[in-house]
Chain A
Amino acid sequence: MKNNSRNEAVDVMVSMHQPEEATLKKYVIGFVGSLVLTFSAYLLTQYGAMNKPVMVIILAVLALSQFVLQLVYFLHVGKEFSPRLKLLVTIFMVMIVFILVAGSIWIMNNLNGRMMTHSNMVKYMNSQDGL
């Protein structure tokens, strides 16, 4: 009797914290979905004949879909009860990563545009010669 009620209490606790966090169905959905997305990206790159900007957008969408799919079905993000700290930390990470990567690319492309090409540099150096 004593043991029974104790086990029940623990079961309730577990189900409260992890609303069926990991199930076989979820892993199968995540795995099959990832396989489909990966193969689509691979086959499009190998055999697709579209122009580059369209391909980049399609591949980026496929990668981001797989990212979200794996976060939800493999890593169980957003499946907990509130306060949803795990979800919050994850969204914060996505924001930081976006700022870091997009910001770096933006700044460095801008710098490349402002920098001289090699031939212009030689011309400039020669014009300064003898000063």
Chain B
Amino acid sequence: MSEAAGELKITNELIAKYDKDTKTVFGFWVYLMTDCVLFASLFAVFAVLRHNTYGGPTAQNLFSLPYVMLETMALLTSSFTAGLALLSAQRKRLKHTLFWFGVTFTLGLTFLVLELAEFSRFVAQGDSWRRSGFLSSYFTLVGTHGLHITIGLIWMIVMMVFILKRGLNDTTLKRIRMLSLFWHFLDVVWIFIFTIVYLFGVLGV
């Protein structure tokens, strides 16, 4: 009798723990959705200011699509490998998890370096955020996304150290779920930057 009662207690505790973790991840999802509102405001500003070039370069003169495509491929592939990292973590494969996070980090860093190189090329040409309303809104929108990527990369390093030190327990798994959500979310935002800023920009819409 007492053994059964003890067992029920343990099971209930585990269920409560699992519920709490699921709620934490849901709370993180709600944060991501509010972050969308930040990006939506910046997209609205960009849409309004995109033709205000003040004699400076237009999107058609400035952007090179093959280069942007390279950035897009790096980020999209890193989103996929972040999913593989979560999958390995759920199957308790420590080395696989670290490997896929390593790949994700490398691709994410590649994306960031490509973006910063593009930014510095524009600034060196004299087309910085000070040049026109179009460029101010461009740098703010794409730069905010880049800032999120930077934070994601730092988080990923911390996560890898954490996994190495503590292994794949419930707590690390919960955090890995949130990190992978964050990373997929950044790729979703990039779909719209790619289409609205770069593709529409090159079309001259």
Question: Known contacts being A70-B184, A86-B26, A96-B37, is A60 close to B48, with CB within 8 Å?
Answer: no
Q: Is A122 an interface residue (CB 8 A)?
A: no
Q: Is the CB of B18 within 8 A of A10?
A: yes
A59-106 residues at the B interface, CB under 8 angstroms:
59-60, 62-63, 66-67, 70-71, 74-75, 85-86, 89-90, 92-93, 96-97, 100-101, 103-105
Taking CB atoms, residues of chain A closer than 8 Å to B45 are: 104
Partner-A contacts on B (CB < 8 A): 3, 7, 10-11, 14-15, 18, 22, 26, 29-30, 33, 36-37, 40-41, 43-45, 47-48, 65, 69, 72-73, 76-77, 79-80, 83-84, 86-87, 90, 181, 184-185, 187-188, 191-192, 194-196, 199-200, 202-205
Taking CB atoms, residues of chain A closer than 8 Å to B200 are: 56, 59
Q: Is the CB of A31 within 8 A of B203?
A: no
Q: In the complex, which residue of chain A has the Cβ closest to the Cβ of B14?
A: A10
Question: Known contacts being A17-B18, A100-B37, A105-B48, is A6 close to B11, with CB within 8 Å?
Answer: yes
SS of B interface (majority): helix
Taking CB atoms, residues of chain A closer than 8 Å to B185 are: 75
Q: Is the CB of A86 within 8 A of B37?
A: no
Residue among A6, A52, A85, A92 making CB contact with B203, cutoff 8 Å = A52
Nearest 8 A/B pairs, CB to CB:
A104-B44, A63-B195, A93-B33, A31-B80, A97-B40, A27-B83, A74-B184, A108-B48
